[in-house]
Structure 1
Amino acid sequence: MFSYLQKIGRALMVPVAVMPAAAVLMGVGYWIDPAGWGGNNALAAFFIKSGAAIIDNMSVLFAIGVAYGMSRDKDGAAALAGFIGFMVVTTLCSAGAVAQIGLVEITTNSELAFSKINNQFVGILSGVIAAEIYNRFYRVELPKALSFFSGKRLVPIVTSVVAMALSFVLMYVWPVVFSGLVGFGTQVTEMGNVGAGIYGFFNRLLIPLGLHHALNAVFWFDLAGINDLGNFWAGQEALDSGAAVLGETGRYMAGFFPVMMFGLPGAALAIYHTARPENKAKVASIMVAAAFCSFFTGVTEPLEFAFMFVAPLLYVVHALLTGVSVFIAASMQWIAGFGFSAGLVDLVLSSQTPLANQPLMLVAQGFVFFVLYYFVFRGLILTFNLKTPGREAADNDETAQDPSAGASSHGEVAGLVLRLLGGKDNLTLIDNCATRLRLEVKDSDQVAVSELKKHVPGVIVASKTALQVVIGPEVEFVADELKQLANA
């Protein structure tokens, strides 16, 4: 199960890789027009809408990216199937479609639930299902009369049918899940500052499923009469009407600023410092961009998805620390709010509002959380040898060097590896991660392991049919050459 989650985590890097660019675009737009958010400046609107085109469609990006990344040969047919599966589920489980189909009675609560069906959880689920269907059916041959629909053309068709079955299940299950989350959120608000911390914990914990929006709807908007975000930005009007309390309104937002602006960048620094020396340049490029997005705009997904699945322990600790931060800010009545997310832009924007209270203390708290995140993440990564980005090649004291150094080309390295693997007849699957070839063979006894170790930094025989060949940073090019040779 853990290895399967790691596989999903690697696949998620496909859509996550575009998020930093989108977040930067939106952040620049907000910076240009901090008051109107594009309403007063055409250039700001151009930047904001360009970034929003990606951020607002995260769910479908996950469906496409996961399906593509988990498919056996990274084929576009799998990506298309992921998109089709997602569209079928979100269309059939939309409030209007559910009411028209008539299988489930539409109530106020269930209508709200179905209006939130377009979420990351459904995107990831659709992508995983599409990839599994692709891997199972992409070589199926139908009778001659239906031969046009054989192989990869069959995958989207089967995916659509399975997505229909999934939609049927979700029509009954999703309102229950959603209502449970909303009911839980309502009870938490009755617990005061402790409840705020609990909310912060579950807000982060539910992000992998995309279900944190259900909780946000309770705390931030007027679903249950709390309307923390709405009252905060209403300012003096809300204060005069009794709908807001100075030092309390905004407590479900304020504690996120120290985490998103400082804590997660501290975690990124820890991930960089614990990466293998030969991988640090690559890890730095990812972590710097992701940390900047988290600090400047409050978009945390590029950082969180980098360790969410490959090191779940770190993510649980991250959720706990977020809860602590929200609790501290609420208890001390250090208040700021956001309209987009808890980044620098929104901190500056909200600092002058009537309900803001000592927002600079959130910065001071942030410095403490930067140090806390750095040392906690660094300690856990080293203590438990967690495979965060850049550390995957550390198994068995391997040194992920480039075996193609010198006169050998990527094609020559691939040819050598293929021969020592027992030839293409013994090779059934070719995949790769950051530094390794991840291979499946018919029989590992046919692999010349000792000879192969003379030409590459390391070889790991995981089972009778699975092995890994350590190549180094150029592994993707070697994998491409190996696939061409195997399919020749």
Structure 2
Amino acid sequence: MNILSYLQKIGRALMVPVATLPAAAILMGVGYWIDPVGWGGDNALAAFFIKSGSAIIENMSVLFAIGVAYGMSKDKDGAAALTGFVGFLVLTTLCSPAAVSMIQKIPLAQVPAAFGKINNQFVGILVGIISAELYNRFSHVELPKALSFFSGRRLVPILTSFLMILVAFILMYIWPLIFNGLVTLGMHIQHLGSAGAGIYAFFNRLLIPVGLHHALNSVFWFDVAGINDIPNFLGGQESINAGKATVGITGRYQAGFFPIMMFGLPGAALAIYHCARPENRAKVGGIMLAAAFASFFTGITEPLEFSFMFVAPVLYFIHALLTGVSVFIAASMHWIAGFGFSAGLVDMVLSSRNPLATQWYMLIPQGLVFFVVYYVVFRFTIKKFNLLTPGRELAVAGDESDGYNVDVETPASSKADETAALARRYISAIGGSENLTGIDACITRLRLNVKDSGLVNETLAKRLGASGVIRLNKQSVQVIVGTRAEIIAGAMRTVMLSGPVAAVTAAPTAAAVAESPVQAVVKSNKPIVEKLVSPITGDVVALAQVPDEAFASKAVGDGVAIRPTGKIVVAPANGVVVKIFNTNHAFCLETEAGAEVVVHMGIDTVALNGQGFTRLVEEGETVTAGQPILELDLAYLNANARSMISPVVVSNMDDYSGLATLATGTVVAGESVLYEIQAK
């Protein structure tokens, strides 16, 4: 997985906690509107609203730790969220001023100020990512029997706690350097006048994703370098009388934020909404409307910014540039306004009464211009570069992790409708929703529980694209549909929730039991398009001897099987890992030549819920032949799996003429050629 894909994965995970921020911002905005001077000190109702909202805003970093850990976990389990919370508590406690004083044996007053800012978004996101990676790797690890209570998901918070000790130790030395470096940068910027104001604003936005903007803000807003913008502006006439503030100068590091927060970002939100796919617009519209209102009314921009800063970093860079331009323009023109909380409508109204405000009303036409600029630039950039902003990914039924999945090649409206229609027809073929009692999926097949397997119409199922239908017993049916099995299963669940589906009227026929034709293994002079090496060390077994009708009949695809003696499963060819089942027992590799290779470790191993398997790569990663993909606990699997005979098949054999030179005897992972795929 490349860096951009990984950032997009983080961005989608962030949608979980970000969705809570607009409500918090609106609550605080209402409170400030009720009591614009006392901020809750003069009105109990205002205090109620402000404290309610600030409870979320002030704990944004821990929300990010929990949300990112949950959103990036492979199975969206609550244990991952708990791991993120535990990791955050350990890290921030160890790096708190009191703990640093105790650990480093220095007086509390001498602890660097940087540690007072350790509770920030950067730390929250960092902890969330680390926690998710640990969860994905170790949540199915089995410990010896004496420690079995701490196996699996219970093990991950323990590992995270110990790892956070190391991370805290590192941060104790590098965090003050980073923080102090930004303070030094800010002190140099202040000597550049209006241009410096623009540069400051650019870095202010650019540092928000990692929470380091606080270090820079302290230079310009508070008395670190003698600027002290916020206290001076709040002092108004008293600050002027005391010689602390200068009319037309104090506030120049703040004024240009009003056009961005009140107008520019709402323009960006409108562009994101208009660029969303039609079926996602209702959901995206709700998020964007709330986030835009929060930005305009209160100046709280995180709900909007975090919705695109990771999924489309180029847009966030453009946003930082435009913010710098806005602040530079306002400072150059001496259009001055200040704020105590943020650059929203509430603070603009308050600022209009302040004697330090200079032509503050010109910020409104400037804002209207920036609304248009943001809308045009964001919409053009999103469309031109096909950026995956919220709502532009194809929503896949059954995935509730973040509401979006990536599919940039096929129009969502047509493909989503097609998948839903296909799912509805499969339900009809199974005997209708009245006959269907349970839906699950393996990497290539629908695993369905039914009231009566005799009502399943195999003819229709095969007409819909199924390679075969297997009746395990009266209540269990498997339908071989290929690597889209999980997507179809999710769509079937969604269709079932929307209302009853009738069974097809045509009765099953005897012809339905006939197996679909499969490709024979031949040797010919036809060109070889792909050579597959063995994915694991072991003994070759003919596909017909696999104790699973779907594989033995070649309904899933053609190939061979291996009885493993080694524990490392490798990629059989160069390609992309397009699917790893969440229990890690099987994966699908699309080779550079386009072959879809299914490597299925064992038979019915899905029932082990991931125990005995360790994932070494993630979905979407490009791999090379021989690169490790999975690690097996072979002793556990041999003792608990129905069979460890592992098919390695090509599921899209219709695109090829057949296979040649199948291996026999013993093969070595990543070295022995298993078979060759012949062109038509």
> Shorter-chain-normalised TM-score: which range?
0.7 to 0.9
* 1:386-465 to 2 correspondences below 5 Å: 386-393=387-394, 395-398=408-411, 399-402=414-417, 403-405=419-421, 418=441, 421-422=444-445, 464-465=576-577
CA–CA distance in structure 1, aligned partners of residues 207 and 576 of structure 2: 37
* 1:304-343 to 2 correspondences below 5 Å: 304-343=305-344
RMSD: 3.3
**Equivalent residue number for residue 38 of structure 2:** 36
Alpha carbons of structure 1 residues 51 and 199: separation in structure 2 relative to 1, 3 Å:
same
**Equivalent residue number for residue 668 of structure 2:** none
- Conserved? CA contact 2:446–2:486, under 8 Å: no
Deviations 1:40-59 (A, max 9, x none): 11111111100000001001
Alpha carbons of structure 1 residues 423 and 314: separation in structure 2 relative to 1, 3 Å:
same
CA–CA distance in structure 1, aligned partners of residues 217 and 179 of structure 2: 12
Alpha carbons of structure 1 residues 346 and 430: separation in structure 2 relative to 1, 3 Å:
farther
Stretch moving more, 293-302 or 404-413:
404-413
**Equivalent residue number for residue 459 of structure 1:** none
Q: Secondary structure at the match of 2:420?
A: coil
Which amino acid in structure 2 is aligned with residue 78 of structure 1? A
**Equivalent residue number for residue 204 of structure 2:** 203
Alpha carbons of structure 1 residues 354 and 88: separation in structure 2 relative to 1, 3 Å:
same
CA–CA distance in structure 2, aligned partners of residues 430 and 182 of structure 1: 51
- Deviation of 1:127 after TM superposition, in Å, equals 0.8
* 1:20-99 to 2 correspondences below 5 Å: 20-99=22-101
CA–CA distance in structure 1, aligned partners of residues 437 and 184 of structure 2: 56
CA–CA distance in structure 2, aligned partners of residues 130 and 163 of structure 1: 10
- Deviation of 1:360 after TM superposition, in Å, equals 1.0
Q: Secondary structure at the match of 2:311?
A: coil
* TM-score, scaled relative to structure 2: 0.62
Deviations 1:343-367 (A, max 9, x none): 1111111110111111111111100
Q: Secondary structure at the match of 1:251?
A: coil
Q: Which has the higher contact order (CA 8 A, sep 6+)?
A: 1
CA–CA distance in structure 2, aligned partners of residues 283 and 251 of structure 1: 35
Q: Secondary structure at the match of 2:227?
A: coil
Which amino acid in structure 1 is aligned with residue 410 of structure 2? D
**Equivalent residue number for residue 125 of structure 2:** 124
* 1:201-280 to 2 correspondences below 5 Å: 201-280=202-281
- Conserved? CA contact 1:72–1:431, under 8 Å: no
**Equivalent residue number for residue 481 of structure 1:** none
Stretch moving more, 411-420 or 271-280:
411-420
Deviations 1:310-331 (A, max 9, x none): 1111100000000000001111
**Equivalent residue number for residue 171 of structure 1:** 172
Which amino acid in structure 2 is aligned with residue 401 of structure 1? A
**Equivalent residue number for residue 302 of structure 2:** 301
**Equivalent residue number for residue 458 of structure 1:** none
- Conserved? CA contact 2:229–2:253, under 8 Å: yes
Alpha carbons of structure 1 residues 281 and 408: separation in structure 2 relative to 1, 3 Å:
farther
- Conserved? CA contact 2:441–2:486, under 8 Å: no
CA–CA distance in structure 2, aligned partners of residues 177 and 192 of structure 1: 24
- Conserved? CA contact 1:104–1:171, under 8 Å: no
CA–CA distance in structure 2, aligned partners of residues 13 and 305 of structure 1: 8
Alpha carbons of structure 1 residues 105 and 132: separation in structure 2 relative to 1, 3 Å:
farther
CA–CA distance in structure 2, aligned partners of residues 184 and 370 of structure 1: 30
Deviations 1:253-301 (A, max 9, x none): 1110000000001011111112222222222111111111111111111
CA–CA distance in structure 2, aligned partners of residues 224 and 430 of structure 1: 58
Stretch moving more, 164-173 or 379-388:
379-388
Bigger-Rg structure (1/2): 2
* Residue 21 of structure 2, aligned match among 1, 4, 19: 19
Deviations 1:168-227 (A, max 9, x none): 000111011111011001110111110000000000000100110111111101122211
CA–CA distance in structure 2, aligned partners of residues 417 and 385 of structure 1: 33
Deviations 1:20-65 (A, max 9, x none): 0001101111111112111111111111100000001001110111
Which amino acid in structure 2 is aligned with residue 97 of structure 1? A
Alpha carbons of structure 1 residues 360 and 448: separation in structure 2 relative to 1, 3 Å:
farther
Structure 2 alignment gaps of length 5 or more: 395-406, 448-477, 494-534, 537-550, 558-573, 581-605, 611-680
Which amino acid in structure 2 is aligned with residue 466 of structure 1? V
- Conserved? CA contact 1:15–1:65, under 8 Å: yes
Deviations 1:416-467 (A, max 9, x none): 883672467999x9799x99x9xxxx99x99979xxxxxxxxxxxx955315
Which amino acid in structure 2 is aligned with residue 396 of structure 1? E
CA–CA distance in structure 1, aligned partners of residues 108 and 41 of structure 2: 37
Which amino acid in structure 2 is aligned with residue 387 of structure 1? L
Deviations 1:397-423 (A, max 9, x none): 333424335577799899888367246
Deviations 1:139-171 (A, max 9, x none): 111122211111111111110000000000001
- Conserved? CA contact 1:30–1:37, under 8 Å: yes
- Conserved? CA contact 2:439–2:446, under 8 Å: no
Alpha carbons of structure 1 residues 400 and 389: separation in structure 2 relative to 1, 3 Å:
farther
Number of corresponding residues: 453
- Deviation of 1:103 after TM superposition, in Å, equals 7.2
CA–CA distance in structure 2, aligned partners of residues 254 and 281 of structure 1: 34
Aligned-pair identity in percent equals 64
Which amino acid in structure 1 is aligned with residue 280 of structure 2? N
- Conserved? CA contact 2:443–2:486, under 8 Å: no
Alpha carbons of structure 1 residues 140 and 47: separation in structure 2 relative to 1, 3 Å:
same
* 1:127-142 to 2 correspondences below 5 Å: 127-142=128-143
Higher helix share: 1
CA–CA distance in structure 2, aligned partners of residues 217 and 385 of structure 1: 38
**Equivalent residue number for residue 144 of structure 2:** 143
CA–CA distance in structure 2, aligned partners of residues 68 and 161 of structure 1: 20
- Conserved? CA contact 1:422–1:447, under 8 Å: no
Higher strand share: 2
